[in-house]
Amino acid sequence: MSPLERDPREADLLDAERAVAAQVGAADAVAPVGTGTHREVGGPPPAGVEVRAPVGVVMYDPAELTVTVGAGTTVEELSGILSEANQECVLDPRDATATIGGTLACGLSGLRRLRYGPLRDRVLEVRFATAAGELVRGGGPTVKNVTGYDMPRLLVGSFGTLGVLTRVVLRCQPRPMHAQWGHTSDDPATVLARSFRASAVLWDGARTSVLSEGHPDDVVSQIATLGLEAQEGPPPVPVGAHRGRASVAPADVIAVGRSLDAIVGARWIAEAGVGTLHVACDEESTLADARQAVTQHGGWLLREEGAPGLDGFGVELPNAALMARVKTAFDPTNKLAAGRLPLAPREDARIAS
Amino acid sequence: MDRALLADLRAALGSDRVRAEPLELHLYGRDAGVDVGEASAVCFPATAEHVVAAVQVAARHDRPFVARGSGTGLAGGATPVGRPVVIVTTHLNRVLEVDEQQRLAWVEPGVLNLDLSRAVRHLGLHYAPDPSSQQACTIGGNIATNAGGPHCLAYGVTAAHVLAVDVVLADGSVAMLGGVTPDQPGYDLRGCFVGSEGTMGLATRIAVRLTANPPEIRTLLLDFTSIDDAAATVSGVIAAGIVPAALEMMDAEITRAVEDFVGAGYPRDAAAVLLIELDGLEHGVEAQVERVRAVGSSHGARTVRVAADEAERALLWKGRKSAFGAIARIAPDYYLHDAVVPRTRLVDVLRQVYAIASEQRLTMMNVFHAGDGNLHPLIVFDGREPGIWARVHAAGDAILQACVAAGGVLSGEHGIGLEKRDAMPLVFEPADLDAQARLRDAFDPSGRANPDKVLPQGSRCGELARIPEGAWV
Ligand SMILES: Cc1cc2nc3c(=O)[nH]c(=O)nc-3n(C[C@H](O)[C@H](O)[C@H](O)COP(=O)(O)OP(=O)(O)OC[C@H]3O[C@@H](n4cnc5c(N)ncnc54)[C@H](O)[C@@H]3O)c2cc1C
């Protein structure tokens, strides 16, 4: 019996995954789709046969703190199942109808990254359909594992350009006993220096909002220590026809925020201590200005929605030659999610035909 | 052939930085594991430029190269195969920059793990991954093996603490993978590099995340009259929704050995002890202490001792961290295994592991990272005893198979290296191994970076046949 088929509970999922792999293998161009919450991330939706990952939570043992899901399962559905055991997997996409595969492919880490780290740290195992129509598994089901290369990290943030995720094993955690948001007019650097393991410190240029999670008495004392005024839920994350996510060094968040404030029509909120900023606006040119401000500080801005005139990241991919080799290794004809990443075929590497 | 290679290396690095005397070649012929190889030259670069030069010379002579830190690896990762150039990083040992505000440090690869934590202690920070070998192993080696340690249970293994790496690729070019921005455009090449055991290039400069010291720490020692009870307590604590900072287990033999060695106050008559650390803010920690106490008692813990002060806490940890020193007094040789099983299978798998040892008439001890299911069966023996190695290897194979059968993996932190390379097909299908081989080849098309490690021969399955016309590679 092959390792893939060891567990009968996986058999149904495996059949569905094989069907996806066959579909991917047969197509000349493939557009992996989830529920469409990030259809426009990085650029217009790629052309090709739309391929959807299997749905369903196939294995969940709360005592193990891990869960195995079809990549087409929505975050919402998974959260519902985990919360029955008072657990969660910190995925936190802006829209909970997003699929887990899509959230992973877009590399969305959510607003609680400050405490819980990036999404890539929670992915234990992946299985994906390759361009050639095979199923490939990487990583492993246990919470600790160094058996072979870290394929899960390679797939997180790859925008479907290396393979179509069909199944993932995620690390879960107990839900915090208590959670409370609060805000202050102190600048985020001061708040960060005085807080301990805050789950989020968000800053919109005027107000710093803090999420404290843990034992109720500790939450109360953190709120008091930081002099926070309690607030119901997180501050609003900006919305608009044109939207992007920026990434800057954490030390530059305040300076970048100030630059964004100078751009009329740019609405933004920053994850202090992390370096991610969420920007939205009504005019495409405003997002272009925001991108320029971010790049001037050595960061980049990924177009997430709208702004058809803006390319993906606005900066050249670092190590483009190496990335092109990785892309070629998995998708030699560039048929998977073509255009999601600005990876140009290297002329010098073209096989003479 | 070697003469020309040595001459070029000496010209590039300076003759005092290149050694090829029999004694050196012998010393650098292995790591702390059991596999032995042979180097053609051993280089001691003092700068990243030296590393580039050494790699370029190796490329010109079409020789493989092997990165080496302190050589404490246990899987043969730094063992030279195919008479490579060994590049030792121990002279690249400067902490280049500590950024207190962003809580990160830039270091050279030869910085010792513990030295980094010492260097930032005055800031109330530390480097979280703490392998038991932390006094001796390098950050570069940690990154290459994705090292773990007791406190990685709550804080995550090395991969979660690496922000950026400057890598010298096999062609001598330098790439910075990752960065200090939270994400980078394109693929997470840094994520691929961490844990790649020197097969994707050599790290010359590394940015790591620093962690704030927790305000409250409680260290507990629970002692049990049966191994099963201790293992069940581990599963029980996790199932109760507690992820301790550390959750270590030691069985009877190792507990006694350690107690005789350092006198940490461990009960000499216990069948097993658990060392559990809880940290964070005051109220949460206190509540968890009570919870752990209750779980332990319900599984028959004889005593639950909470360290009263920092001195007692340090003593309890000294016991755990001296385990390997202690066993050196018992027998001249040891073979330390490393595999992971689901935490809910601990009781069952541990029983099998002990049965395997007794079947092979071997002395075995277990001291391991129980909280994440990371077993470290430790076989102690005298290698001079006729026929002993065959039994040691047979036991090792059987242990690995038992772990895999329980839904586990081949290695939790030591890596695959040479030691477990040929066991990879136990957990991966040919297509999985082929994909890994493609990834590796993308980093190193020449195949000269630490060849023969990690992937078994035959991992690449007929890729040429599948590349369609007009494809770009
Ligand atoms: C007593 C003892 C206890 C141990 N406890 C633990 C533990 O708790 N947790 C744990 O994870 N490990 C443990 N180990 C194993 C070992 O210490 C780790 O694997 C460590 O990370 C190796 O570091 P090193 O500097 O000795 O690397 P080496 O052994 O020199 O090399 C290890 C691997 O890293 C590669 N490498 C080294 N430097 C670089 C570089 N700069 N760039 C690219 N590749 C490089 C080598 O090629 C090799 O493949 C233990 C070992 C011993 C002997």
Q: Cβ of B343 and A64 within 8 Å?
A: yes
Chain B residues with CB inside 8 Å of A251's CB?
99, 101-102
Closest-CA residue of A relative to B234 is: A63
Neighbouring-strand partners of residue A68: A59, A169
Does A310 reside within a domain?
Answer: no
B268 contact partners, CB below 8 Å, separation of at least 6: B255, B256, B259
Q: What is the pLDDT of residues A202-243, one digit of tens each?
A: 999 999 999 999 999 999 999 999 999 999 999 999 999 999
Give residues 358 to 387 of B whose Cβ lies within 8 Å of A.
Answer: 369, 372-374
CB pairs below 8 Å between A and B: how many?
282
pLDDT of residue A344: 59
Judge if A158 and A247 occupy the same domain: no
Q: How far is B329 from chain A (nearest CA, A)?
A: 31
Q: What is the pLDDT of residues A1-14, one digit of tens each?
A: 344 444 566 788 99
Judge if A82 and A131 occupy the same domain: yes
The share of chain A scoring above pLDDT 70, in percent, equals: 95
Judge if A163 and A36 occupy the same domain: yes
Instruction: Output the domain CATH number for residue A25.
Output: 3.30.465.10
Residue in A17, A142, A171, A226 to test binding to B, most B beta-carbons within 10 Å: A142
Section A137-141 average pLDDT: 97
Cα dist. B365→B260, B268, B378 in Å? Answer: 15, 14, 5
Q: How far is A299 from chain B (nearest CA, A)?
A: 7
Give residues 261 to 320 of B whose Cβ lies within 8 Å of A.
Answer: 280-284, 287
Cα dist. B430→A13, A135, B341, B394 in Å? Answer: 20, 10, 23, 25
Does A153 reside within a domain?
Answer: yes
Q: In the block, which residue shows the tokens 């789950």?
A: A199
**What's the token pair of residue A328?**
């070629």
> Would you call A62 helix, strand, or coil by DSSP?
helix
pLDDT of residue B40: 96
Judge if A293 and A324 occupy the same domain: no
Judge if A212 and A153 occupy the same domain: no
- Rounded CA-CA distance B377/B390 in Å is 17
Neighbouring-strand partners of residue B265: none
User: Of the candidates B233, B409, B427, which has an alpha carbon nearest to the alpha carbon of residue B337?
Assistant: B409
Judge if A221 and A289 occupy the same domain: no
User: Of the candidates B291, B293, B272, B278, which has an alpha carbon nearest to the alpha carbon of residue B223?
Assistant: B272
Section B148-152 average pLDDT: 95
Q: Whose CA is nearest to atom 15 of ligand 1?
A: B73
Q: Give residue B473 CA to ligand 1 midpoint distance, Å.
A: 33
Phi, psi of A348 (to 5 degrees): -65, -15
Domain count, chain A: 4
A313 part of contact set with chain B, CB < 8 Å: yes
Closest-CA residue of B relative to A312 is: B185
C-alpha gyration radius of chain B: 23
Judge if A64 and A111 occupy the same domain: yes
Judge if A226 and A246 occupy the same domain: no
Q: Cβ of A144 and B424 within 8 Å?
A: no
Q: What is the pLDDT of residues A153-207, one digit of tens each?
A: 999 999 999 999 999 999 999 999 999 999 999 999 999 999 999 999 999 999 9
pLDDT of residue B1: 61
Does A4 reside within a domain?
Answer: no
- Which has the higher per-residue pLDDT, A42 or B377? B377
pLDDT of residue B470: 40
- Which has the higher per-residue pLDDT, A112 or B329? A112
On the question of pLDDT at B466 being above 60, the answer is no
On the question of pLDDT at B309 being above 60, the answer is yes
Picking from A272-276, A304-308, B1-5, B157-161, which range would have the lowest pLDDT averaged per residue?
B1-5
Question: What interface predicted TM-score (ipTM) does this complex get?
Answer: 0.95
**What's the token pair of residue A293?**
């401000």
Judge if A15 and A148 occupy the same domain: yes
| Beta strand spans in B227-346 (E) | 246-251, 272-280, 303-306, 333-336, 339-340
Across the interface, of B183, B287, B413, the residue whose CB is closest to A146 is B413
| Inter-residue contact B188 to B200 (CB < 8 Å) | no
| Inter-residue contact A75 to A103 (CB < 8 Å) | yes
Judge if A291 and A340 occupy the same domain: no
- Rounded CA-CA distance B68/B211 in Å is 27
Does A22 reside within a domain?
Answer: yes
Does A1 reside within a domain?
Answer: no
Judge if A17 and A148 occupy the same domain: yes
The share of chain A scoring above pLDDT 90, in percent, equals: 88
Judge if A34 and A166 occupy the same domain: yes
**What's the token pair of residue A318?**
């670092």
pLDDT of residue B241: 87
Q: Give residue B414 CA to ligand 1 midpoint distance, Å.
A: 7
Section A272-288 average pLDDT: 98
Residue in A113, A124, A212, A322 to test binding to B, most B beta-carbons within 10 Å: A322
B123 part of contact set with chain A, CB < 8 Å: no
pLDDT of residue A321: 94
Does A130 reside within a domain?
Answer: yes
Q: What is the pLDDT of residues B11-61, one digit of tens each?
A: 999 999 999 999 999 999 999 998 899 999 999 999 999 999 999 999 999
pLDDT of residue A7: 58
On the question of pLDDT at B353 being above 70, the answer is yes
Q: What is the pLDDT of residues B154-199, one digit of tens each?
A: 999 999 999 999 999 999 999 999 999 999 999 999 999 999 999 9
Q: Measured in whole angstroms, how far is the alpha carbon of residue B129 from the centre of its chain?
A: 10
Does A315 reside within a domain?
Answer: no
> Would you call B107 helix, strand, or coil by DSSP?
strand
Phi, psi of A329 (to 5 degrees): -60, -30
DSSP string covering B264-285, please?
----TT-SEEEEEEEEESHHHH
Q: What is the pLDDT of residues B246-256, one digit of tens each?
A: 999 999 999 99
User: Of the candidates B79, B202, B204, which has an alpha carbon nearest to the alpha carbon of residue B449?
Assistant: B202
Q: Which domains are seen in chain B, by residue range?
A: 3-88 (3.30.43.10), 95-212 (3.30.465.10), 216-324 (3.30.70.2190), 331-405 (3.30.70.2740), 421-462 (no CATH)
What domain range includes position A71? Answer: 10-174
Picking from A72-76, A341-345, B333-337, which range would have the lowest pLDDT averaged per residue?
A341-345
Taken as a whole, chain B contains a residue count of 473
